[in-house]
Amino acid sequence: MRYEIEVKEELSRIVKVKADNLADAVSKVEEMYKSCAIVLDEDDFKGVKIEPCDNLKLANIR
């Protein structure tokens, strides 16, 4: 039997930006991320979770 097992990695980084308000700060960071000014890598690794697929039902695939 073969089973579908999901591997999830969590990457996280805190980015400091100057802005007039929280919404503008979030918008600035979103734009920085979309334009690849922020690229998360192995230094941003926070953890890993390994478990059966999304539906939590073992899938027998052939």
Q: What are the residue ranges spanned by the domains of the chain?
A: 5-52
Q: Is the pLDDT score of 61 beyond 80?
A: no
Beta strands 45-52; 5-11: pairing state? antiparallel
Report residue 62's pLDDT band, with 50, 70 and 90 as the boundaries: very low
pLDDT digits (tens, 9 = 90+) for 37-59: 999 999 999 999 999 986 655 44
Whether the full predicted model's pTM is greater than 0.85, yes or no, is: no
Q: What is the pLDDT of residue 56?
A: 52
Mean pLDDT of 13-17: 98
Beta strands in 2-62 (DSSP E): 5-11, 45-52
Q: What is the pLDDT of residue 54?
A: 66
